Structure 1
Amino acid sequence: MKQIFLVFIVLMIGVGGYFFLIKSSPSVSERLTIEKEWVVDTVRVAKIDSQPTLHLSGKIVAAREADLRPLVEGRIIEIGDNFHEGGLVSRGEILIAIDPFNFKASLTDSEAALSENRSSREEILVQIRKNEALSETYKKQEELRKLELERRVTLSGEGIISKKANDESNFAYLSSRQLRISNDYETQRLKAKIKRLDASILRSEVRVDIAKRNLNETILRAPFDGVLTNISVGIGKWVNSRDYVAQIIDNINLEVLFHMSDEQYGRITSLGELNGRPAMVVWSSGVNTIELKATLNRAEGEFDAASGGVWVYASVHPNGKLKDLRPGAFVQTKTPDIVYPNSFRVIESAIYSDDTVYLFNNGRLEERVIKVVARDGEHLIITGEVQDGDLIVTTRIPEVAPGLKVRTKLE
């Protein structure tokens, strides 16, 4: 019990000493608070009619492309010098050649049949001309024998000649008449045969034309200037008109396919038609950047609900630089936006919370409410509580607030 009492006494002495030291310590003078000053960049804005440029991502597409297939059936005996993957070909250039033997034989046979029909026609024409010449002779003979018959009938009635002589004259007349009629009918039959031969000749001419076309089509030529891809045949392969041999892509008449948002498309079309608006296509290939002029020409028929916009096509103007450009290349497309009157152009770092900027005014920040109406690359086009000539702070300040003390780097 005595030990517990001693411990209690020691604790009381310690606590009392602690409070005595606090009471007896000298007072510390209050520290002075120093206001922090921020060093900032500023830009003096000017009120202008701004026309930003839309920067849109897209890709190169071919204005036309075609799957190449043989026009006739046969064995490939030759391929063109540029018939390989990525080969550049010109319109009319030979791609593949099919063995023409059967097609030459077919053409020769068709031409022989045509010649035979024409010869038969000429032969019949000669016979018709002969019959027509004989027809005149037969007609005169008939007329003469008719007169002779009439005289003999008169003489027979007077008893001058016998009835037998009269019958002989009648028989001669009928024989000449029959000969003339038979000749005329034969002429008509030959003329009908000429019509049949004309039809046969026409069919033969068609067969000759088909044989000539088939022979010409043993050579498959490039339908237009372009680049070859997906080559699938070689020398010796047997092909027919259903077989796919390659694809040709027009690498001269190229288009750009890019996406516009609903808002962008609405702004552009509010000025009139989309077609005809200028554009610039920027293609970065390694260390080189190539710019190509283009013209907007159409938009797809419906909006893409998934992307919330519409796909737009622009025709790239012909240019010697297009030889190296291929469909599928990713490009940037730039086209003018609408004009925003009485607006200001500032860099993106000057905007806080999408609707606020801060002005530099006598070393203090002043808050202004603005509206971002468009983007132009790294800059934004704004309108709102800003005046021509205001100094807008462009440096990002983590603790930004109205009245914050600042100074420019030039001060």
Structure 2
Amino acid sequence: MRFLMRGLIGLALMAIMVGFAGYGAYQFYDALTAEETTRQRPARERIYSVNVSELAPQTVTPLTTAFGQVESWRSLQLRASSEGRLVNVASKFRDGAAVAEGELLLKIDPANAEFLFLDAEAALADAEAQKAEAEEAIVGAEQELEAARRQLALRRQALERQQQLKDKGYSTAVQVETEELGVASLEQSLSNRLQSVITARKRIERMDLTVKRAQIALNDAQRVLDETTLTAPFYGYLSEVDATLGRRVSPSETLAVLIDPTALEVKFSVSTSEFARLLDERGKLIKAPVSVTLQLGGRSIVVPGNIDRAAAVVSEGEAGRTLFATLEIEPGAVLRPGDFVKVEIQEPELNRVAVVPAGAVTEDGRLLIIGEGDRIEEIQAKVLRRMREDVVLANVPFGEKYVTERLPQLGTGLKVSPRDTDGSTNQPEGPAVAKASPSNDERNSDDLVALDPERRAALIAQLNESNIPENRKARLLALLNQPMVPKDLVDRLEQRRGRSG
């Protein structure tokens, strides 16, 4: 009985083993036939959904951004005209105070100036009196000269009569000689009178000069007296004030600086390439419009202006050019000399160009467009300008569709499903379409940050200098050029820069 039971168990175990072996052979055969069927069936091509837009010709006015400092081209040092004590100082004579034209600022003790004025006035009166005496003296000298001339004429007539009488025998030679001596004496007297008249006239000329000198001295004394009272020559703001009541000042000592708030300009620097774009066909600097922005916390003060001139020299070690722009300042403006401002320069217009997002084009100008059969083609465009989040391109096929966001998985020849930026999608029939990247709505807004231009430029420069693969670099550059950038990407790049520094 025991032998029979063992035999039945052995047969059962053998049957189970045969069943498992048959099932395994069946599964093996099924797998082989399925693989062969799969190999015979062609694989379906993967299609990416991409955002596209049309390359349309535009007219663009590029903006060049620079940073500069406000300066004043009309500032005046208020100096003391003479030595003395300050006897009157206006209450508004303080740093930052606004003063009107002609407003009294301070007064120096006028005692010395008044003494000099009275002395100059007396000297002028004395010179005028001497001139009057000289004018009267010349009248008498001229009268004496006229009398001497008449006497000489009479004496010559008498000499002629004596000579006539002598010829007739009625007069002697002695009488003729006597008349000749009289004529000679009167001629000598006439010469002396003429010399006296000449001397009197020269004295009048000298007196004229003396009077003029006295008048100049009086005018100078009057000027010194007037300058003891210091007034504002024009409207402006006071700076560097150094004057108190009772203080003694010396001549030419600077007491304050008066700045005209409407005579402001901004000084800024541009690169050589940016400067070249501001030249006309003859190589002269154009009067390009500028917009100057002063950032005051959360408020921005914007002032228009125009480029006026370039600096006369290029400083040592300077790579670009220094420019000056005049500002259209309104009364009461808050701009002050020394303010650090941002300057936006409007360059000449660019016609028939395309404006694309910065993430759609590489650094060297390569752009992805949609070709025949919705397949990607790559073209080489000319980069004219980079303006914040946009790039201005030339030499592009207008009317064609381009990919607005260049991603690493996109390449030449791939089939895509173009999706216009207006939301319409050209969905092909067949297999499911894979998205090239998540949309902005699918991103967590808490993980995105906004970057200021300087910080974004520093990160892009760091990424361009790195040795990471080009496809990954292109993807990261596209992310950095977005308005909102992933926070973890920014943190990784800045931490890497800190370790390398």
Question: TM over 0.5, yes or no?
Answer: yes
Secondary structure of the structure 1 residue equivalent to 2:381: strand
Secondary structure of the structure 1 residue equivalent to 2:359: helix
Question: Of residues 290, 310, 314 in structure 2, which corresponds to 1:299?
Answer: 310
1:231 is matched with 241
- Distance in 2, Cα, partners of 1:46 & 1:78: 72
1:132 is matched with 142
1:45 is matched with 55
- Distance in 2, Cα, partners of 1:36 & 1:232: 81
2:289 is matched with 278
Question: Of residues 90, 95, 101 in structure 2, which corresponds to 1:85?
Answer: 95
Secondary structure of the structure 2 residue equivalent to 1:269: coil
Does the 8 Å contact 1:281/1:292 carry over to 2? Answer: yes
1:112 is matched with 122
Residue pairs, 1:325-364, within 5 angstroms:
325-359=335-369
Distance 1:115 1:41, change over 3 A: same
CA distances 1:49-90 after superposition (whole Å, capped 9, x unpaired): 444222332232212333332233322222345422112234
Question: Of residues 67, 70, 88 in structure 2, which corresponds to 1:60?
Answer: 70
Secondary structure of the structure 2 residue equivalent to 1:268: coil
- Distance in 2, Cα, partners of 1:338 & 1:106: 63
Distance 1:327 1:119, change over 3 A: same
**Is 1:317 aligned to 2:328, yes or no?**
yes
CA distances 1:1-23 after superposition (whole Å, capped 9, x unpaired): xxxxxxxxxxxxxxxxxxxxxxx
Question: Of residues 377, 381, 386 in structure 1, which corresponds to 2:392?
Answer: 381
Does the 8 Å contact 1:52/1:374 carry over to 2? Answer: yes
Letter in 2 for 1:298: R
1:8 is matched with none
Residue pairs, 1:150-189, within 5 angstroms:
186-189=196-199
CA distances 1:130-183 after superposition (whole Å, capped 9, x unpaired): 3433554566567778989999999xxx99xxx9xxxxx999999999987776
Greater RCO, 1 or 2 (C-alpha within 8 Å, sep 6+): 1
Deviation at 1:208, TM superposition (A): 1.1
CA distances 1:199-239 after superposition (whole Å, capped 9, x unpaired): 32222122112212222222334344332211122222222
Does the 8 Å contact 2:280/2:286 carry over to 1? Answer: no
Does the 8 Å contact 1:370/1:386 carry over to 2? Answer: no
User: Which TM-score applies when normalising by structure 1?
Assistant: 0.74
- Distance in 2, Cα, partners of 1:392 & 1:81: 69
Does the 8 Å contact 2:375/2:415 carry over to 1? Answer: yes
- Distance in 1, Cα, partners of 2:281 & 2:199: 78
Name the stretch that deviates more: 309-318 or 365-374: 365-374
Distance 1:266 1:192, change over 3 A: closer
Name the stretch that deviates more: 74-83 or 247-256: 74-83
Q: Mind listing any 5+ residue stretches in structure 1 that lack a counterpart?
A: 1-23, 164-168
Letter in 1 for 2:88: E
Name the stretch that deviates more: 333-342 or 233-242: 333-342
Does the 8 Å contact 2:58/2:353 carry over to 1? Answer: yes
- Distance in 1, Cα, partners of 2:114 & 2:307: 50
How many residues are treated as equivalent by the alignment? 380
- Distance in 1, Cα, partners of 2:217 & 2:322: 49
2:475 is matched with none
Letter in 2 for 1:71: S
Deviation at 1:34, TM superposition (A): 10
Deviation at 1:39, TM superposition (A): 5.9
1:5 is matched with none
Letter in 2 for 1:60: V
- Distance in 2, Cα, partners of 1:232 & 1:289: 33
CA distances 1:255-300 after superposition (whole Å, capped 9, x unpaired): 2222221112122215342143333333344444343332222112
**Is 1:123 aligned to 2:124, yes or no?**
no
CA RMSD of aligned residues (A): 4.4
Distance 1:387 1:196, change over 3 A: closer
Letter in 1 for 2:304: K
Does the 8 Å contact 1:53/1:377 carry over to 2? Answer: no
Does the 8 Å contact 2:109/2:228 carry over to 1? Answer: yes
Identity over aligned pairs, percent: 24
Does the 8 Å contact 2:56/2:354 carry over to 1? Answer: yes
Letter in 1 for 2:330: N
Does the 8 Å contact 1:77/1:98 carry over to 2? Answer: yes
Distance 1:291 1:178, change over 3 A: same
- Distance in 2, Cα, partners of 1:275 & 1:308: 20
2:250 is matched with 240
- Distance in 2, Cα, partners of 1:83 & 1:195: 49
**Is 1:70 aligned to 2:80, yes or no?**
yes
Does the 8 Å contact 2:357/2:404 carry over to 1? Answer: no
- Distance in 1, Cα, partners of 2:120 & 2:112: 12
Deviation at 1:380, TM superposition (A): 0.7
Does the 8 Å contact 1:44/1:392 carry over to 2? Answer: no
- Distance in 2, Cα, partners of 1:244 & 1:374: 50
Does the 8 Å contact 1:37/1:407 carry over to 2? Answer: no
Does the 8 Å contact 1:357/1:393 carry over to 2? Answer: no
- Distance in 2, Cα, partners of 1:152 & 1:302: 94
- Distance in 1, Cα, partners of 2:132 & 2:84: 38
1:265 is matched with 275
Letter in 2 for 1:266: A
- Distance in 2, Cα, partners of 1:175 & 1:308: 93
Q: Mind listing any 5+ residue stretches in structure 2 that lack a counterpart?
A: 1-23, 426-501
Question: Of residues 205, 208, 226 in structure 2, which corresponds to 1:216?
Answer: 226
Does the 8 Å contact 1:61/1:256 carry over to 2? Answer: yes
- Distance in 2, Cα, partners of 1:239 & 1:227: 22
Higher helix share: 2
